[in-house]
Amino acid sequence: MKRFKTGAMSYGSISKEAHENLAIAMNRIGGKSNSGEGGEDAERFYKNQTGDWKNSAIKQVASGRFGVSSNYLTNASEIQIKMAQGAKPGEGGQLPGPKVNPDIAKTRNSTPYVGLISPPPHHDIYSIEDLSQLIFDLKSANREARINVKLVSEVGVGTVAAGVSKAKADVILISGFDGGTGASPLTSLKHTGLPWELGIAEAQQTLVMNDLRNRVRLECDGQLKTGRDVAIACLLGAEEFGFATAPLVASGCIMMRACHLNTCPVGIATQNPELRKKFKGQPEHVVNFMYFIAQELREIMAELGFKTIDEMVGQVQKLDRKKVLNHYKSAGIDLSPILHQVDVIPGTKLYNTTKQEHHIEDSIEFDIIEKAHPALYRKEKMSLDFPIKNTDRAVGAIISNEISKKYGAAGMPDNTLKLNFTGAAGQSFGAFATKGLTMTVYGNTNDYLGKGLSGAKLVVKVPVEATIVPHDNVITGNVTLYGATAGEAYINGKAGERFCVRNSGAIAVVEGIGDHGCEYMTGGTAVILGAVGRNFGAGMSGGIAYVYDPNKTFKSICKEEGLNLLAVEDQTDIDQLKTLIENHYHATQSPRAQEILEQWESQLGHFIKVFPEEYRLALVRIAAETAQTL
């Protein structure tokens, strides 16, 4: 049963009751449930009084990074990177504002009633090397968890799978087009993706041919419904198996295909509180279904002469094609590419036999943890100094994992552990860094600074001996604070492209950015004390940005519909902006911040407040509901 999993279904796409029902059932049988990309309530990480556990063993990291924090990743036994979805490959997702109730907003670190968009791509993955970096980041955030990469069954998926194996993934999931169809667009269902049989066969053959199959486990999903489906998937190369629609049907789903309308009559794919009361599913229903699957699989294995799943993996010669070929509907179909057996060197394995070498043990963080013991385990305030170089990647993730294991999402008091680094930090500095850490770099940082920031304070400042003008020079790379949920970042110079992409709660001050700033942002506050590139605020539905615009060019650059570009006139906004610039100055001694503060009365008029209309309407609704409740 440990090879059985539920497919990715986020809390948001299905109701809380249905989501918890699946998690309890899979934990009872030793399988794994998948959180989907919507984050997960921390209350579910602990067993209840009856011994049942609502925790999803698999935590998903998708392009939206909703709810992805150090504590979320720490409470996983497997972390899945969703590169695409079988039913709509190449597309992102969207949760309409009316479905984002306060519970979902809390879980996703966003604002109630503000629509949430998952971008089509991961903005930190543009190559296999970038994927390798994210795998390293996530492995650092939870060393005990396996890293799973979800791919779609498409032509060429075998080549991609080979690259993913070399990028050090522990599990590769091949997802078929039939799965996840409840709310996918009809054009996607009819015209994209392929059956899982084609994808799993190609992935197995390519990995075996390149002697990579022993490094990874292959998983398959996409409308597996019977033990026979599992047996075929196994013979084609899969070792683990995901189910989603079938367990929902066992829980009461009647396939209305109205998941996106919030009108599910059986309380599964809805956030309407009245309709959710109609959910009648029980964990026993899903457990019973899984036992039937297992029983049928055992019977088929016995007929074929296999004792274990591993013996069965990739044995395509056991698939009988005569009945299919003799059927009139299959005239002209050639199954030989799917059932091809690769010529291999004797000893080459058809299934996973070894573990990937992630080399996490080489990180400088273990030296830091040893010296920071009083801060990490007794909350004694400490300040430590270390050199850093660009091969030191994801610094902060391992320390944050240790903090999360001990203190949960609350972390430690602010500034408990101050880490001062001198040099050029590698990629993902401060990734998933949690509350209680203050990390300062005297130098510069590479791409992905503060990825998934979870409450820490990050400072990047020009070294004292430097002679450059900070606000005229780039000091950190692209994709800063991607998916950050909380914390602060003060950057004494310019940042690259996609600054604060999908930020949902962090506060950031920077002295200039490249293109696509604040893209898909849903929360938090960004202050830009310098020029911005094109396409600012694309898809921005929440949070606030303040842009310093002395040359009056911003309004001609920012053409995004749905953004209000306002003067900073409200006293609350003025106080917030001034406080953040003061904090920036105290953290970095920025000449630009000093200049603005010294001439505050005249400089204030140069700022523009970027305020998404959807966010404004949501705040009005929340205020009205609060007043009505009082």
Tens of pLDDT along 487-509?
A: 999 999 999 999 999 999 999 99
Q: For the whole prediction, is pTM greater than 0.75?
A: yes
Is pLDDT of 181 > 70? no
Say whether pLDDT at 621 is over 70. yes
How high is the pLDDT of residue 97? 84
Whose CA is closest to 365, among 411, 402, 313? Answer: 402
- How far is it between the farthest Cα atoms of the chain? 86
Higher pLDDT, 305 or 626: 305
The hierarchical CATH code for the domain 4-330 is 3.20.20.70
Closest CA to 442 of 589, 295, 557: 589
Residue 9 pLDDT: 84
pLDDT tens per residue, range 596-616 = 999 999 999 999 999 999 999
For residue 273, how many other CB atoms are within 10 A of its CB? 10
CA 597/CA 584 separation, integer angstroms? 11
Residue 208 token pair? 């075996």
Evaluate whether 572 touches 594 at the Cβ level (below 8 Å).
Answer: no
Residue 190 has pLDDT above 80, yes or no: no
Output helix, strand, coil percentages for the chain, rounded to the nearest 5: 35, 20, 45
Region 57-74 average pLDDT: 96
Distances in Å between the alpha carbon of 370 and those of 374, 392, 393, 402? 9, 17, 18, 12
Beta bridge partners of 422: 387, 442
- Specify the amino acid at residue 625: E
Average pLDDT, the chain: 93
Residue type, 252: G
CATH topology of domain 383-629: Pectate Lyase C-like (2.160.20)
Q: What spatial distance separates the first Cα and last Cα of the chain, rounded to whole Å?
A: 50
Task: For residues 586 and 579, give the distance between their C-alpha atoms in angstroms, rounded to a whole number.
Answer: 10
User: Is the CB of residue 567 less than 8 Å from the CB of residue 560?
Assistant: no
Range scoring the smallest mean pLDDT among 246-255, 334-343, 417-426, 483-492? 334-343
pLDDT digits (tens, 9 = 90+) for 137-158: 999 999 999 999 999 999 999 9
Q: Does 182 have pLDDT greater than 70?
A: no
At a CB cut-off of 8 Å and minimum separation 6, what does 13 contact? 36, 38, 95, 182, 183, 259, 269
Question: For residue 109, which of 20, 10, 58, 39 has the smallest C-alpha distance?
Answer: 39
Could you tell me which of 364, 375, 473 has the C-alpha nearest to residue 429? 364
Q: Where in the chain is the domain with CATH 2.160.20.60?
A: 383-629
Q: List pLDDT tens digits, range 81-128.
A: 999 888 788 888 788 888 888 988 999 989 999 988 888 899 999 999
**Helices and strands of the chain, counted as H and E runs:** 21, 20
Range(s) for CATH 3.20.20.70 in the chain?
4-330
Q: Is the pLDDT of residue 441 over 90?
A: yes
Strand order in the sheet with 504-510: 382-388, 417-425, 437-445, 454-461, 486-491, 504-510, 522-528, 542-548, 607-612, 563-567
Amino acid at 546: Y
Residues paired with residue 439 on neighbouring β-strands, in sequence order:
419, 458
What does the DSSP 8-state code read for residue 417? E
- Coil, helix or strand for 285? helix
Token pair of 241, please? 């198996």
Mean pLDDT of 46-56: 91
Q: What's the rounded Cα separation, in Å, for the pair 487 and 396?
A: 13
359 dihedral zone (left: phi>0; alpha: psi -120 to 50; beta): left
Closest CA to 568 of 585, 581, 584: 581
Amino acid at 444: N
CA distance 256 to 258: 5
CA distances from 377 to 141, 401, 414, 572, 593 (A): 18, 13, 15, 39, 37
Mean pLDDT throughout 52-62? 95
- Is residue 572 predicted with pLDDT exceeding 90? yes
What pLDDT score does 183 carry? 60
Q: Report the alpha-carbon angle 39-397-484, nearest 5.
A: 45
Query: Bigger pLDDT: 344 or 132?
Result: 132
Question: 319: helix, coil or strand?
Answer: coil
Sole residue written with tokens 């001062």: 420
pLDDT of residue 240: 97
Query: In 3D, which of 76, 81, 161, 160 has the Cα closest to residue 121?
Result: 81
Beta carbons of 39 and 67 less than 8 angstroms apart: yes
CB-CB contact of 171 with 147 (8 Å): yes
Query: Tens digits of per-residue pLDDT, 306-330?
Result: 999 999 999 999 998 877 777 888 7
Q: Taking the mean position of all CA atoms in its chain, how far away is CA 40? A: 12
- The runs of H, that is alpha helices, within 326-418 are 365-371, 373-378, 397-407
pLDDT for the residue 96: 81
Q: Which helix (H) or strand (E) holds 586?
A: helix 571-588
Lowest-pLDDT range, 341-355, 445-459, 607-621? 341-355
Top-confidence residue, 178 or 172? 172
